[in-house]
Chains A and B, each alone.
Chain A
Amino acid sequence: MTNSYTDPEDLRWKCHKCDMFLSVGPASLTYMGKTINARLPVCPQCGFVLISEELALGKIAEVEQLLEDK
């Protein structure tokens, strides 16, 4: 099961290279040898993933801390 972390605002961004609006798609996050799958705003063409400030400082920071303390 993968969690979805996408704010509607995130989908207002476009991939500059592909000129396509982002959509919710699969992405993986890896740290300290652990990989977590999640659904994030990505470019539907090239797969370029956008990490929002809220996600970076919220859930990602929390998971980083948990993995670091393992």
Chain B
Amino acid sequence: MDQNELRLLESGCVQEEPPECMAACPIHVDVRAFIANVSQEKWEEAWKILRKAMPFPGIIGRICDAPCKEHCKRKEAGQAIEIGMLERACVKTQSPKQRIYPLPKKDKSIAVVGSKLSGLTAAWDLSRKGYKVTVFESGSQLGGDLLSIKEEILPHNVVREELDILFSLGVAAELDSSVNDENFLEDLARRFDAIYLGPDYRNVPSGLKDLKGVFSRGFLQYDPKSPVWQAAEGRWAATSIDRFLQKVSLTSGREKEGPFTTRLYTNIDYVPYVPAIKPLNQASGYTTQEAIQEAGRCLNCECLECVKACSYLEKFDSYPRKYVREIYNNANIVAGRHPANKLINSCSLCGLCEAVCPEGFAMQSLCLKARRDMVQKGKMPPSAHEFALLDMQFSNSDQFAMALHEPTYESSAYIFFPGCQLCASSPGEVKSVYAHLRKTMTGGVGLMLGCCSAPAFWAGEEQLFEEQFSMWQRKWADLGRPQVILACSTCYNIFKTYLHEAPIISLWSILDETGLPHDFTSLKDAVPLALHDPCTTRYESHLQTNVRNLLQKMGQPFVDLTAKSEYAECCGFGGLMQNANPDLAKTVINRLAGRSSADYVTYCSVCRDNLAGAGKRTVHILDLIFLKDGESDPAARKRPGWSQRQENRLRLKNDLLNELWATDRGERIDHAGPVLNISSEVWQVLEDRRILVTDLEEVIHHAEISGHKFYNPDSGHFKASLKLYNTTFWVEYIPSDGGFTIYNAYSHRMEVSGKEGQ
């Protein structure tokens, strides 16, 4: 990512765009922050925010016509915030002390003609920039028309105090000036380096106005009576004069100088209607308490649509614009810690952020790109995805993977590819589906077992993905490139993107088209289920429709879990979140499980198992279509553990080969190892730590053969370790009943060595 790409990406997130009020204000007061301070009774802070953008806040704060108000989002859910009245309430409180630090004096002098707010603002801004400013006023005092405002609205002493600040900056005033004299302007042009003719100066002789260094009102679109517009005009003139004297571009970078349309999106769909607070005394405006109440109605406009929708984005306490910068910085660290690794590897890559973002910001693209970059540079933490990648390699090894034509067929019109996780979760249903497809589809339905290699894709392991996916492609090509029937929407996404030449079709489309099995029996006393669409069907609305049709055909009542089909949520498996950040994955699945009190139905086996693992009663649609005899409560099925998931795949291949192809693999699938007694508490430990039964068996086998183990005379327990792949596993056990009772297991990746004889 280079700097330009960084900025382009950053601009895709609108969270830091100004709110409507600030964008609409001619001088861009940070109205949102001002109101937030008022609501918290932080009057001094509120004052300071006004001062930052507003010249003479004691004056303008009392008479501001608040053109921002009509842009306030609150009016869509009640009435606009009474911003002008809040300004008045603020400036009536004691003003905090201020110190003004003008820039070093410059040797240029400027004449300002007229002392309405426009001229005064120009004088204020220019004097703070270090220029020597003289204000020419035809009347006998500065700010004449301000003193004509009713005393109870704008007390004269306030005007005088504010103007005293101007004088303290060294601004000179020439009162009773003959500004309409024929030679007045020519005289000024000789004496000063630049001249500002305020809006009240009407006798600009044509010709002189075009002289270099003479600036006059340029913006005619506004209400000339508006105090804040007058101030804005003075400010813009001051900026032009400063740029003119500094000999820099008068125009560049000034597009947002006046009111502009902000890109900030604020969702007010769920904002309750609240009307404006009415002051008890209309003439004197809000009391401080009334102002605080009114400020409390402010929506504090911000976007955060993605953060509200995604636990991952919420977890890292910021928003995509900031995350882009963190990820960019992370990639550019040569030596030292890479603090954004966790951020990059925790995203489920599900794309919900992109679906809910008003500008379509895709965090998943950013994270995937960063992962690929880390892998290429050898900077990917080895532990982040290893467990899932080993599982993928298991799925694509001879232990599970196979590709065969339908028994008795020598070619295939179709192949059924159930995907690795359905086989891991419900091997029985894979057999039922395959039997059903063989009955309903003509031309031969072959079978392929394996993994689509999505884990390598998610891990950013492009080369590994390419290798594994090509292996799959070769096997499929050897079968004569039949149409691929898919039961997993992750596989569907991967194949759709990378297997261009393959005609793919979802199992749900086939079942929707060919109908339910003729021996289909519905669940007795079917209660309405909440339908969870897997995140990988976000933009596959036809699959979502197929499933809804199937539920209807089954007579199974259901309600949608999300308002829109593209808002489908991830279960925490996607993008290998579960591997890289297991705690976050738990938060994600619990949030999904809490969306409805009804039992769920879904059509992704991983979603089903993760929901079941979170204690949420959930059925897979295949549990309903191929309901087993006597099965009355498929939603109660537990999530199979990691070890069970591997064993299910191993056995499925073996069973299918034996039952359908009458092939003996010549491998012993039945438990070859010793009997392990494992309590439910220890099972949970193994699950949380992703330790497989086969790992335990290997450690114990090695310890028992080599005698390399520890013994605790107090407990009678043995403890042994063995390094497998990149991990050292420790098991605490005792021999029992011809097998072993397991008390504990844990692992680490550091290699340990002692120093013999010491």
Contact = CB atoms under 8 A, between A and B. Distances in A.
B is bound to A: yes
Interface of A: 12-17, 22, 25-32, 36, 40, 42-51, 53, 56-57, 60-61, 63-66, 68-70
Interface centre among A16, A26, A60 (most CB of B within 10 A): A16
Given A47-B757, A49-B753, A70-B338, A13 B748 contact: no
B707 interface: yes
Interface string B16-28: 0000000000000
B718 A16 contact: yes
B749 A31 contact: yes
A49 B748 CA distance: 13
B713 A14 contact: yes
Given A46-B756, A47-B758, A69-B338, A64 B707 contact: no
B168 interface: no
A69 B580 CA distance: 13
7 contacts: A16-B710, A27-B753, A43-B754, A49-B752, A60-B750, A68-B382, A68-B384
Contacts of A15: 710-711
B712 A13 contact: yes
B384 to A, nearest CB: 8
B747 A56 contact: yes
Contacts of B751: 29-31
Interface of chain B, main secondary structure: loop
A68 B336 contact: no
Contact of B712 (A12, A30, A69): A12
Contacts of B383: 64, 68
A64 B754 contact: no
B714 interface: yes
A13 B719 contact: yes
Given A16-B709, A16-B710, A68-B383, A63 B757 contact: no
A27 B709 CA distance: 17
B755 A25 contact: yes
Nearest to B744: A53
Contacts of A48: 708, 710, 754
B721 interface: yes
A65 B338 CA distance: 11
Contacts of B756: 46-47
A31 B750 contact: yes
B381 interface: yes
A64 B757 contact: no
Contacts of B752: 27-29, 40, 49, 51
Contact of A69 (B337, B708, B711): B337
Contacts of B713: 12, 14
B750 A50 contact: no
B730 interface: yes
B746 interface: yes
A14 to B, nearest CB: 5
A8 to B, nearest CB: 12
A42 B753 CA distance: 10
A12 B236 CA distance: 81
Contacts of A50: 710, 719
B341 interface: yes
Contact of B755 (A17, A26, A36, A64): A26
Interface of chain A, main secondary structure: mixed
Nearest to B341: A69
A34 to B, nearest CB: 9
Interface in B669-721: 707-714, 718-719, 721
Nearest to A47: B754
A57 B381 CA distance: 17
A13 B710 contact: yes
B339 interface: yes
Nearest to B330: A69
Contacts of B721: 51
Given A12-B714, A28-B752, A70 B336 contact: yes
A50 B748 CA distance: 12
A48 B707 CA distance: 12
Contact of B337 (A53, A64, A70): A70
Contacts of A57: 746, 748
A69 B339 contact: yes
Contacts of B758: 25-26, 42, 44, 47
Contact of B711 (A13, A42, A44): A13
B460 to A, nearest CB: 15
Contacts of A68: 341, 381-384
Interface in B717-742: 718-719, 721, 728, 730
A12 B717 CA distance: 11
Given A16-B718, A44-B758, A64 B710 contact: no
Contacts of B710: 13-16, 22, 48, 50
A25 B754 contact: yes
B749 A64 contact: yes
Contacts of B707: 16-17
Contacts of A43: 754
A47 B750 contact: no
A70 to B, nearest CB: 6
Interface string B601-643: 0000000000000000000000000000000000000000000
Contacts of B719: 13, 50
A37 to B, nearest CB: 10
A47 B752 CA distance: 11
Nearest to B337: A69
Nearest to B689: A57
A19 B751 CA distance: 24
Contact of B748 (A25, A26, A60): A60
Interface centre among B382, B383, B755 (most CB of A within 10 A): B755
Contacts of B714: 12
A66 B337 CA distance: 7
B755 A56 contact: no
A46 B710 CA distance: 12
B463 to A, nearest CB: 20
B337 A26 contact: no
A60 to B, nearest CB: 5
A3 B266 CA distance: 54
Nearest to A32: B382
Contacts of B728: 51
Contacts of A69: 337-339, 341, 381
Nearest to A31: B750
A64 B748 contact: yes
A47 B755 contact: yes
